[in-house]
Amino acid sequence: MISKRILSFFAAALLSIGITTARPDEGMWLPMLLKQLNEAQMQNKGMKLTADDIYNVNQSSLKDAIVSFGGFCTGEMISAEGLLLTNHHCGYGQVQQHSTVENDYLTEGFWAMNREQELPNPGLTATFIVRMEDVTKQILAGTEAAETEAARESIIQRNISKVGKEATAGTHYSAVIKPFFYGNEYYMYITETFKDVRLVGAPPSSIGKFGGDTDNWMWPRHTGDFSIFRIYAGPNNEPAEYSPDNKPYKPKHHLPISLNGIQEGDFTMVFGFPGRTNEYLTSQAVQEIYEVSNPAKINIRETKLNILDKDMKASDDVRIKYAAKYASIANYWKKWIGENRGIRKANAIAEKQQLEQQFAQWVAADAGRKAKYGNLLSDFEKNYNALEGITISRDYINEAAFGVEIVKLANNFTTLQSMLAQKAPQSDINAQVTKLENYSSGFFKDYHAPSDKKVFAALLDLYYSNIDAKLHPEAFKMVRTKYKGNFEKYADEVFNRSAFASEAGVKKLLADAKQGKNSIANDPAFELANSIAEYYRVNVMPTYTTVNENLNLLYRMYMAGLREMQQDKNFYPDANSTLRVAYGKVEPYKPLDGVQYTYYTTLEGVMEKAASGVAEDYAIPAKLRELYEKKDYGRYGVDGKMPVAFIASNHTTGGNSGSPVINANGQLIGTNFDRNWEGTMSDIVYNPDQVRNISVDVRYMLFIVDKFAGAGHLVEEMTLVTDDTSGLAQVDARKKETEQSSKKDKKKDRKKKKAKAEATAY
């Protein structure tokens, strides 16, 4: 199986352990604070831009080329006509939605050869940042009087609503206000969201997903992980719902693309929307992740992946239905394995404990600090101890119980069942039915009951066997007595009797609900889902909620204390899906004793992997092999070789997928798509010797679009450069060139119309 092959490598790699210290490459920095915190250091590392070139609200800057793609990835503008570049795995869901067995865009790729062929994607958005603002004082106003965390949070939410409404009144903008440093500070992002985003191009999975799960989170990498979309706008170049009349969006800035490539030591900057990090966790929290949570989640997901992998290989229909799901499940499964390995390699728990000892000594040295922070570390310990049995139960409920699709589907009917039981107004019931009809339609498009039945039996058996019986939901007692703990027999019963096992069954439940009839309550899948949800509500959520409320306060105090103790240090806030800048340099690394990785890969490595025999992950298109054999790389190759990917020391995480990698001149040199496996612990602790972000070289993207796909018309839209002029200046020059060309075209059109009118007159 795939998992055994990967894990055999993991086991060997775990032998290497090391301790390192932090350095400036660490950090995900707020764009509006670059001038005061980072500009000098970035320029010392080779950057030729200013902080104003990166973030400016009064004139065009790099920030105007960066978008939050769908709210889960990053994208960048690469043409004056709205072309958007992101990762293949970010656009994977859209490619999958447009794919059928007859038109398998996942396998064959998709390229729009004209604007009319570009495919709409309902629900997909692209969000720009208009400006940022520190609103800490406004948001925290009145919180001093709050007697509880809940009361404080209530005041904050009212303030957030008020400040956001005032900031966007009379505009089509939105406001996003989020806490930073555990609520010690608040920043507001004013955003502009476009809703007409169309698929333009995606390579076949054999390029865009080359290496599959074997290579995921690994280096060396040879994946052309990119896809291309286009943003469309309505009148006045503003956001609009999809319409055939919409025109390509004209961005304030798009990134020029460098053909110069990269060299070791080059400055790099990643600009994007990192999702979530927890860099300031205490040692108890990291220990719980390392010893309890990650091992359980890894085991559950590996079990599910093995089942789906077998079924997907046996059926193209199942493969297409589960392609995106499988990739999503596998992504964090492998990430957690690497994260645990990285925590151990960085000696993270001991490092955290050492910092806490320093903090305790600093507190003890001053009476005022004792009064303020004296009980902080002991309170952390009490609260983490209170999570014993809670964390593991929560993980098994989320990953095992609700990792079964029929259980998750049935759980979504809880509100409707409650409304029917309480005889709510039929109009309210019908409104809920409509929501569930829409949800169910999408669910069953990508659902295969026989596969889910296998997952049901396997995951619930794990839950039953690996968790203390005192932590079992009530339904497990029935399985123990009626089925003697045999979950395969229980699966037979549920899937034979439950309406949730088929689309027809769900449609009947919903039709009954429209008649006021409650057919949900006694359904076996709903009974199981309800039992698990009830256990969570009564036995898990109260403690979990209380402890996390306590921890929020403790971390807010701890964060304030650390910043007070280390006043000479620039602190960066944890990632929270807001726009950030990370910077570093192109740099190799040593993953293991005696192993040295270079900083780039080439197409030759693709061919070497294709010859390795791992057919399912290393298959390649015949056209790509042909181009390689002819060395037909056009202007994108270097010395007879075709660059594919490279690594750098930028601090990234989930959400940075699709982020542009920008050189010292503000030019695009790559698209970030992954981290190396040795560096996945960077969400918790940054190890400078090991952490590397992985990017597809922009020249490989151009080569695939132009030479492989024959979509050179897309390359013609882009601003390609071979000099070191500032990227902003290059785009300004391209804008002037475009404007002059447009004026000439209009002048020609006027002449043609005049000539036609004169001819008609005669």
Domain membership flag for residue 680? yes
H or E segment and range at residue 755:
helix 727-761
pLDDT exceeds 70 at position 2: no
pLDDT exceeds 60 at position 742: no
Is the peptide bond between 244 and the residue preceding it cis, with omega within 30 degrees of 0? no
Is the peptide bond between 220 and the residue preceding it cis, with omega within 30 degrees of 0? yes
Domain membership flag for residue 313? no
Q: Within this chain, do residues 600 and 455 fall inside the same structural domain, yes or no?
A: no
Catalytic (active-site) positions: 89, 225, 657
Q: Among the listed ranges 140-154, 332-346, 732-746, which one has the minimum average pLDDT value?
A: 732-746
Dump strand ranges (E) for 380-502.
none
Q: Which residue has the higher pLDDT, 25 or 97?
A: 97
Domain membership flag for residue 173? no
Please state the rounded mean pLDDT for residues 709-732. 85
Q: Within this chain, do residues 503 and 620 fall inside the same structural domain, yes or no?
A: no
Q: Within this chain, do residues 536 and 602 fall inside the same structural domain, yes or no?
A: no
Backbone angles phi, psi at 530, to 5 degrees: -65, -40
Q: Among the listed ranges 320-324, 350-354, 611-615, 624-628, which one has the minimum average pLDDT value?
A: 611-615
Question: Tens digits of per-residue pLDDT, 669-678?
Answer: 999 999 999 8
Question: Tens digits of per-residue pLDDT, 112-168?
Answer: 999 999 999 999 999 999 999 999 999 999 999 998 888 999 999 999 999 999 999
pLDDT value, residue 529? 97
SS3 154: helix
Confidence of residue 730 (pLDDT cuts 50, 70, 90): low
Domain membership flag for residue 509? yes
The single-letter code of the amino acid at 71 is G
Place of tokens 């709205």: 82
pLDDT value, residue 751? 63
Q: What is the CA radius of gyration of the chain?
A: 28
Burial class (CB in 10 A: 0-12, 13-18, 19+), 431: exposed
Q: What is the mean pLDDT of the chain?
A: 92
Please state the rounded mean pLDDT for residues 184-188. 98
| Spatial separation of the C-alpha atoms in residues 155 and 152, rounded to whole Å | 5
Contact 148, 545 (CB under 8 A): no
Confidence of residue 748 (pLDDT cuts 50, 70, 90): low
Domain with 484 in it: 391-549
Confidence of residue 615 (pLDDT cuts 50, 70, 90): low
pLDDT exceeds 90 at position 725: no
Q: Within this chain, do residues 545 and 583 fall inside the same structural domain, yes or no?
A: no
Domain membership flag for residue 65? yes
pLDDT exceeds 80 at position 761: no
SS3 186: strand
Q: Within this chain, do residues 595 and 504 fall inside the same structural domain, yes or no?
A: no
Question: Tens digits of per-residue pLDDT, 434-457?
Answer: 999 999 999 999 999 999 999 999
DSSP 263-293: -TT-EEEEEE------TT--HHHHHHIIIII
pLDDT value, residue 758? 53
| Spatial separation of the C-alpha atoms in residues 6 and 4, rounded to whole Å | 5
Q: Within this chain, do residues 630 and 743 fall inside the same structural domain, yes or no?
A: no
Which residues are 269's β-sheet partners? 583, 662
pLDDT value, residue 648? 97
Domain count, the chain: 3
Q: Within this chain, do residues 693 and 748 fall inside the same structural domain, yes or no?
A: no
Domain membership flag for residue 153? no
Domain membership flag for residue 300? no
Question: Tens digits of per-residue pLDDT, 625-636?
Answer: 999 999 999 999
Domain membership flag for residue 557? no
